[in-house]
Structure 1
Amino acid sequence: MTASPRQTDVAIIGAGPTALFAAFECGMLRLSSLLIDALDCVGGQCAALYAEKPIYDIPAHPAIEGGALIEALEAQITPFNVPRLLGQRVEGLQGQRGDFTLTTSAGETIRAKAVIIAAGAGAFGPNRPPLDGLDAYEKTGAVQYYVRRRQDFTDRRIVVAGGGDSALDWALSLSDIARHVYLLHRRDRFRGAPETLARIEAQVAAGKIEKVVPYQLSGLRGENGRLQAVEVATLDGAARLLEADTLLPFYGLSTDLGPIAVWPLDTHRSQIPVTPSTLETSLPGVFAIGDVASYPGKLKLILQGFSEAAMAVHAIHGVVHPDTPLHFEHSTSLGLPGVA
């Protein structure tokens, strides 16, 4: 027996900060919504990649960690009881403005009057190093691609691999609590801000970070997923063995719009062009906000995504209630409305 489709006014694809704020705006306009995300938790890249890294350009917060921002956004939508379909991605979209049917990889069917795509850069995952036996070490956590809880790495011997901001930032952050941090890169040149590079050199001089250059990963040694050492080598074949408990490879993310890329809407280089005033895509009734949305003058900032969420939801009100004018009110006078 097939389960009945879920009914909602607005289906929001994604569950990052922009998507969460869109759900709040829906609640404020008495529109029902639900969130769908391929990750098994809300927060998108903020939760997966930056949970304990500070963000400095959120209004009214001189600094706020990514995880704390997500917690606050979740608290903001709590009164509206927004359903979350996590660990599944939207596979299919059919219908038209005012009557869409979405299907997910977990077999869910959703009927919605409008759709918001807030998928960031799309489904994302780490670029994995091509090492034999890697899966076994990933399953035990000996190889990880994200740092969700900094304290989990206390007193560990860590190899941080990569030459960009993520590798440099986490090498610095973990050097104060780890037993030893190796910073591995294929050349003695890193891509970072001058201040960050100066801090790296200071930690190297203090013996808290050991630079291993110019080397690259060549193998893993251990038993039953328990890492004992990381093999590295130069392009000339010179090899070293680094005693380590944990490998953190930061080689960037592979991103993919997935099925969205073949939906009947315009895309360009993994982004979705929208009308700036409404954030509506070329497919009427489908809107895009956040990093995935593209228009002249676009800034890829969370705060701009928040603004786009509000604009899109106000435009969607006319889709859901075409015969009911929307009289805009400030939250100070509107208060917190109940769920529609």
Structure 2
Amino acid sequence: MSEAPVRTDVAIVGAGPVGLFAIFECGMLKMHCHVIDTLEVPGGQCAALYPEKPIYDIPGFPRVGAAELIEQLLEQAAPFEPVYHMDQRVEKLERNGEWWRLTTSRGSVVEAKAVILAAGVGAFGPNRPPLENLQSYEGQSVFYYVTKPEDFRDRSVVIAGGGDSALDWSILLADIARKVYVVHRRPKFRGAPDSVAKLHALAEAGRIELVVPYQLDRLEGQDGALQAVIVRDFDDAERRLEADRLLPFFGLSMDLGPIRDWGLDLDRQALTVDPFTCETNLPGIHAIGDVASYRNKLKLILSGFSEAATAAHAIHPRVHPDEELHWEYSTTKGVPGKA
């Protein structure tokens, strides 16, 4: 059953870095935002997939960790008091007079004068290995993302996969976990050459154990508490790895989901927008970041930041139709609560 609708100036779909910066840009123009995201915490892929990874192309930051960038963006948005609706997906988008009505998978209803779709490549989730009773371990012993490496201190961890995520976390957790097994179906890994070299160096030093060529076969445990991971090679030989944590890194499945059914013009997995306003074919619906498509589009975080500003300025007349916009630089205008 849907809740009573709440009304706001702008609804932002997606709480990744670009969506978070859109809160700031709208706030500077006196527009309040509600933000909806499928993940449990803000940050998008930066928070869910690579919080420890450095980013090098953010202006003013020669190097910034993904998690640190999200923390800074949240702090930057905080003075404008956004409302976050996390762990839910927008299922329906429909017109209600002068308002756009968004209904989520949890029954929340948000009505807004304008909508900014900052959904990245769409809702994403992990590619789960085909293991019996896997879901009974998820969230307690099996995790697809690492948000707090300290949660794995002194744990015995099996990491499955051969790409960058598997390598990065194997290297980082080697200094934290009691034991790290790396399970991959072949001896060759697909990650960055420097990471592959570090992985083999750690294995030679005895700080991690490479379990290759093996694949996950089944889990042993009780009531969500993992006790062992059983792996099997291509000769049908088994190994039992005593472990209390499993991190399967087999990539993501990404899909625009219900967005496809909202009558928006699509360009493959993206939405066609006017580059001068970031508006879609539906008036009042804007798209920014990776989900937006136009000629010579660059899929960079900094491009998404620029698009957030473009969309906010284009939306302002819709939210404040009787107010002429006299834009001032932030250095002269300031931010609420800041000197």
Q: In structure 2, do the counterparts of structure 1 residues 3 and 154 end up closer, same or farther at CA, with 3 Å as the change threshold? A: closer
Matched, 1:202 2:201: yes
Question: CA separation in 2, counterparts of 1:189 and 1:149?
Answer: 28
Alignment partner, residue 174 of structure 1: 173
Structure 2 gap ranges (5+): none
Within-5 A mapping of 1:267-282 = 267-282=266-281
In the TM superposition, residue 233 of structure 1 has moved relative to its aligned partner by 1.1
> 1:27·1:80 contact (CA, 8 Å) conserved in 2?
yes
Shift of the alpha carbon at 1:280? 1.1
Distance 1:271 1:95 in 2: 22
**Cα distance in 2 for residues equivalent to 1:127 and 1:334:** 46
The aligned counterpart of 1:131 is 131
Return 81-90 or 144-153, whichever deviates more: 81-90
Residue type of the alignment partner of 2:118: A
2:231 and 2:268 map into 1 onto residues whose CA distance is 35
Report what 1:7 is aligned to.
Answer: 7
Name the counterpart of 2:106: 106
| Structure 1 partner of 2:318 | 319
CA contact (8 A) 1:158 1:181 kept: yes
When residues 201 and 111 of structure 1 are mapped into structure 2, their CA distance, relative to the original with a 3 A threshold, is same
Q: C-alpha separation between the residues in 1 aligned to 2:221 and 2:143?
A: 16
Mapped partners of 2:71, 2:240: distance in 1: 41
Deviates more, 1:304-313 or 1:227-236: 227-236
- Size of the aligned set, in residue pairs, is 337
The CA RMSD over aligned residues, in Å, is 2.0
Q: Amino acid of the residue matched to residue 109 of structure 1?
A: V
Equivalent position of 1:89 in the other structure:
89
Determine the C-alpha separation between the residues in 2 that align with 1:294 and 1:97.
Answer: 28
Q: Distance in 2 between matches of 1:185 and 1:225?
A: 24
Aligned-pair identity in percent equals 59
Aligned partner of 2:283 in structure 1 is 284
The answer as to whether partners of 2:2 and 2:109 remain within 8 angstroms in 1 is no
Counterpart for residue 335 of structure 2:
336
CA contact (8 A) 1:153 1:174 kept: yes
What SS does structure 1 have at the residue aligned with 2:39? coil
In structure 2, distance between residues paired with 1:24 and 1:142: 37
**Partner of residue 80, structure 2:** 80
Distance of 2:335 and 2:223 partners within structure 1: 53
TM-score (norm 2): 0.93
Question: The residue matched to 1:34 in structure 2 has which SS?
Answer: strand
Deviation digits for residues 248-274 of structure 1, max 9, x if unmatched?
100011122221110011123321121
Q: Offset at 1:20?
A: 1.0
Q: How do residues 1-340 of structure 1 correspond to structure 2 at under 5 angstroms? A: 4-95=4-95, 98-139=98-139, 141-336=140-335
Name the amino acid aligned to 1:307: S
Instruction: Determine helix, strand or coil for the equivalent of 2:247.
Output: strand
The TM-score with structure 1 as length reference comes to: 0.93
What SS does structure 2 have at the residue aligned with 1:102? strand
